[in-house]
Amino acid sequence: MYTSTNIGYPYIGEEREWKKALEAFWRNDLTEGAFQAKLKDIRLARIDKQLKQGIDFVTIGDFTLYDRVLDTAVMFGLIPKRFEWLGGKVNLQTYYGIARGSKEAVASEMTKWFNTNYHYIVPEYEGQLLQITENTLLADFLEAKEAFNIKAKPTIIGPYTFFKLTKGYDKLSQVEYLLALLPLYVQVIQELVEAGASWIQLEEPAFVTTLDEAEVKLIHEIYSQLAIAVPQAKLLLQTYFDSMSAYESLITLPVQGIGLDFIHGHSANMEALRQFGFPQDKILAAGIINGRDIWRANLAEVCSTVKAIEQLSQAKELWLQPSCSLQHVPITVEHEIKLEPVLKNALAFADEKVAEIVEVTKYLQGQDDASKHKISDSMKAIEALKNHPIRNNQTIQQMIQNVSIEDFERHSDFHTRQRMQQQALQLPLFPTTTIGSFPQSEAVKRTRNAWRKKQLSNEAYEAFLAEETKRWIGIQEELDLDVLVHGEFERTDMVEYFGEKLTGFAFTEKAWVVSYGSRCVKPPIIYGDVVWEAPITVRETVYAQSLTKRFVKGMLTGPVTILNWSFVRDDISRKAVAYQIALALRQEVEALEAAGIAIIQVDEPALREGLPLRKEQWGAYLEWAVNAFKLATASVKDITQIHTHMCYCEFNDFIEPISALDADVISIETSRSHGELISSLQVNPYSKGIGLGVYDIHSPRVPSEDEMLGIMKDSLQVLSSNQFWVNPDCGLKTRREPETVAALANMVAAAKTLRQHVHHSIS
């Protein structure tokens, strides 16, 4: 028996209705009542669309006000004490304060959701008395039941994964935290069962990470407690992003269904089925359509995979679904009217992936003859793209074959380069700079939009950009920053901008996905061989440098970030694509250096998120990912200073790969997790130049000089004064000008105070 279902569906809306409503509410353009009404409309429209596509079992609880991990934390009363919550239902002011910060309190930390480009808000346990503030899952379940007369499948972040994502507890308090957490899960599940929920999905992506014996034992204890407390509940244990660890043990958990990813965990999950079988008293939810890419599936191969799963598992029932939530892909290909037909025909976004699930289910059930033709069509579409000339550039393919070890190495070691660069650049102690972008004002967005619509000439647009660059060079000089940037006003997105200038990329009009909060991006599509054709950033950088005697950084996005923040062709290895991008950027770096740019920043904020979820698989990825960065940057002279930037990831176990990049200076986020990084650097010292982001740009809050000075002084516990740079934790594109200028003024003042402090200590 086959049932079509979904793990989760995008909440953004086809026209980004969710984002627009959220930001209108933040601007006070929508009342809370109107805002909530708009969100209800979006929630119900998503369900209605899936039902009309023929999905058998709809999921609810995959919607959010900002972030689902934050939703779960707030539902459980896990409110940081600094927000002075007094109990009861959590109001939106407090909810969004945790996410974005407020005048009184800093935001909670934000980090990547496993190995994706989505960022979640990290729960904080401080010994609070946990309680159910509001069973939002129950409300969503009843809402769907009333609107559509269905019993949808509620989904929630599972207890083990939520426990592992939380910060604040230690070995002594973790038992206390779990004992407080589990009764809340029991209450939520019990109330859903009483309301008529036939199945409840517990998302446990942490089950695909490396698990030791103690962790497996803890998982068994958690699920045994749930089974004892709510024996009548039918629980679907849902894993994704890789194969399930400790398979032989975890399939015995007291749950009624298990979801496995047969895309990213295909080989290991299939082997586990061969070795250990599958419990005959459980349903198997099989992730058979890739929920993280945008390529049409070969439905004939998918059907063969389902048959193989069925034969190996002998499961009493198969649920067919995507490999993970579809929130990681855009909503529909339908609106992409400008894409090349051969490419467009090979694409599948969320709606198309739901349709694929439905078609495969119908075909296997023998219900629909038309599904046979659709299976055949999928094979033809894939073959047509495979034979496209853009995938068969012999020149770049030969260049990749010719890459040698020497291409990855700088001419001299770091300490030799550092002496030469210090002499050439003559920068003060604790040089101040920014990460690259400055606020994209309404005027910038409006002018770019007019230019794209051909309502403004190229000459007029370039004149506007030049004037905005000149204005911000002046602002930076007035602020007395040491190393300047041109501001990136010509760039909509740090990946899209470069992709537009390279071959092998395609761009969409409405293929948005959420990165964090209301921040949405349109990842480029790398569908062909990548080739550099002409300088990309040289003109803007050289112009900015002509306006000042201070150094202006060249600003590029690194090869691994371009790879990880794009939808990538699946017919060759990711390593091969990364090396193609790296060779293109190498030519751009050399062009900047030839034009007299002395400092070049090649950002790699997404390096870590590409890591496999199993630590034992990290080595192979890091070897080619680090080499891709070095391939892009290693050919410059010793005197040219290479910077890079990373943000929002756990650095405690990542210092060694960061050092292996051999960048002269790295800037990293530390404002939300400063203490942890300082502790990490005490254990794993870092010898190259480093800028610890001293304030959080994702919050409108302007930190004081003293606050930033405190972070800087703490940093000197683990860094020497000649390696420490001062900068914000990320680019400033999303901030407004007044708060940006105020925060940077405080940052520069703090750096000057620190210089005086150090000089005074020396004297």
Count H helices and E strands in the chain, helices first: 27, 22
Q: Do 362 and 451 have their domain in common? A: no
Tell me if 422 is assigned to some domain: no
Is pLDDT of 107 > 90?
Answer: yes
Q: Do 600 and 682 have their domain in common? A: yes
Q: What mean pLDDT comes out for the span 54-71? A: 97
Is pLDDT of 486 > 90?
Answer: yes
What is the spatial distance between Cα 718 and Cα 138, in angstroms, rounded to a whole number? 49
Q: Which residues are annotated as a binding site for 5-methyltetrahydropteroyltri-L-glutamate?
A: 16-19, 112, 117, 519-520, 565, 609
Q: Do 334 and 442 have their domain in common? A: no
What is the spatial distance between Cα 712 and Cα 86, in angstroms, rounded to a whole number? 34
Local confidence band at 196 (pLDDT 50, 70, 90 cut-offs)? very high
Find, among 729, 742, 747, the residue nearest to 669 by Cα.
Answer: 729
For residue 587, give every residue at least 6 positions away whose Cβ sits within 8 Å of its Cβ, in sequence order, or none. Answer: 532
For residue 448, give every residue at least 6 positions away whose Cβ sits within 8 Å of its Cβ, in sequence order, or none. Answer: 461, 490, 492
Q: What mean pLDDT comes out for the span 134-156? A: 97
Q: What mean pLDDT comes out for the span 344-372? A: 89
Q: Do 360 and 438 have their domain in common? A: no
Q: Do 546 and 490 have their domain in common? A: yes
Query: What are the tokens at 540?
Result: 């803007």
Tell me if 23 is assigned to some domain: no
Q: Do 441 and 292 have their domain in common? A: no
Tell me if 409 is assigned to some domain: no
Q: What mean pLDDT comes out for the span 396-422? A: 94
Find, among 660, 542, 551, 664, the residue nearest to 591 by Cα.
Answer: 542
Tell me if 399 is assigned to some domain: no
Query: Would you call 287 helix, strand, or coil by DSSP?
Result: strand
Counting Cα atoms < 13 Å in the Cβ hemisphere of 145 gives 15
The residue from 361, 386, 411 where one domain ends is 386
**pLDDT of amino acid 370:** 64
For residue 215, give every residue at least 6 positions away whose Cβ sits within 8 Å of its Cβ, in sequence order, or none. Answer: none
Cβ 208 vs Cβ 113: under 8 Å: no
The residue from 360, 386, 412 where one domain ends is 386
DSSP label of 199? -
What backbone torsions phi and psi does residue 607 show, to the nearest 5 degrees?
-60, -45
The residue from 386, 416, 450 where one domain ends is 386
DSSP label of 167? B
**pLDDT of amino acid 651:** 60
Is pLDDT of 648 > 60?
Answer: no
**Per-residue pLDDT tens digits for 148-188:** 999 999 999 999 999 999 999 998 899 999 999 999 999 99
Q: Do 266 and 134 have their domain in common? A: yes
Amino acid (one-letter) located at 280 = Q
What is the spatial distance between Cα 98 and Cα 119, in angstroms, rounded to a whole number? 14
Q: Do 604 and 707 have their domain in common? A: yes
**pLDDT of amino acid 368:** 61
What is the spatial distance between Cα 375 and Cα 371, in angstroms, rounded to a whole number? 6
H helices present in 321-441, as ranges: 341-344, 350-365, 370-386, 394-402, 414-425
Q: What percent of the chain has pLDDT over 70?
A: 97
- Dihedral in degrees, nearest 10, Cα atoms 725, 731, 736, 739: -20
**pLDDT of amino acid 211:** 96
For residue 467, give every residue at least 6 positions away whose Cβ sits within 8 Å of its Cβ, in sequence order, or none. Answer: none
Cβ 284 vs Cβ 5: under 8 Å: no
Is pLDDT of 649 > 60?
Answer: no
Q: What percent of the chain has pLDDT over 90?
A: 83
**Residues paired with 284 in a beta bridge:** 258, 318
What is the spatial distance between Cα 693 and Cα 270, in angstroms, rounded to a whole number? 44
Cβ 672 vs Cβ 390: under 8 Å: no
Q: What is the count of structural domains for the chain? A: 2
Say how many C-beta atoms besides its own lie within 10 A of residue 232's C-beta.
8
Tell me if 720 is assigned to some domain: yes
**pLDDT of amino acid 492:** 83
Q: Which residues are annotated as a binding site for L-methionine?
A: 435-437, 488, 603
Q: Which residues are annotated as a binding site?
A: 16-19, 112, 117, 435-437, 488, 519-520, 565, 603, 609, 645, 647, 669, 730
Q: Do 478 and 374 have their domain in common? A: no
**Per-residue pLDDT tens digits for 553-604:** 999 999 999 999 999 999 999 999 999 999 999 999 999 999 999 999 999 9
* Least confident interval from 318-327, 479-488, 516-525, 710-719: 710-719
Cβ 284 vs Cβ 313: under 8 Å: yes
Tell me if 113 is assigned to some domain: yes
CA distances from 540 to 93, 444, 461, 476, 544 (A): 41, 16, 13, 16, 6
Q: What mean pLDDT comes out for the span 709-718? A: 87
Q: What mean pLDDT comes out for the span 23-51? A: 97
Is pLDDT of 458 > 70?
Answer: yes
Q: How far apart are the first and last CA of the chain?
A: 81
Query: Would you call 208 helix, strand, or coil by DSSP?
Result: helix
Longest dimension (CA), the chain: 87
Q: Which residues are catalytic?
A: 698
**Residues paired with 689 in a beta bridge:** 665
Q: Do 642 and 701 have their domain in common? A: yes
What backbone torsions phi and psi does residue 12 show, to the nearest 5 degrees?
-70, -30
What is the spatial distance between Cα 294 and Cα 328, in angstroms, rounded to a whole number? 9
Query: What are the tokens at 628?
Result: 């891709």
Q: Do 373 and 470 have their domain in common? A: no
Query: Which structural domain, as residue segments, surrounds residue 88?
Result: 2-8+53-386
What backbone torsions phi and psi does residue 151 show, to the nearest 5 degrees?
-105, 90
Cα 311 from chain centroid (whole Å): 36
Place of tokens 């080989």: 267
Query: What are the tokens at 593?
Result: 């250096």
Query: Would you call 155 helix, strand, or coil by DSSP?
Result: strand
Q: Do 375 and 457 have their domain in common? A: no
Query: Would you call 328 helix, strand, or coil by DSSP?
Result: helix
Cβ 107 vs Cβ 100: under 8 Å: yes
**pLDDT of amino acid 720:** 87
Q: Which CATH number fits the domain that encloses residue 745? A: 3.20.20.210
Cβ 646 vs Cβ 683: under 8 Å: no
Q: Which residues are annotated as a binding site for L-homocysteine?
A: 435-437, 488, 603
Tell me if 709 is assigned to some domain: yes
Q: What mean pLDDT comes out for the span 296-306? A: 96
**pLDDT of amino acid 696:** 82
Q: What mean pLDDT comes out for the span 120-129? A: 96
Q: What mean pLDDT comes out for the span 225-232? A: 97
Query: What are the tokens at 44?
Result: 């119900």
Tell me if 249 is assigned to some domain: yes
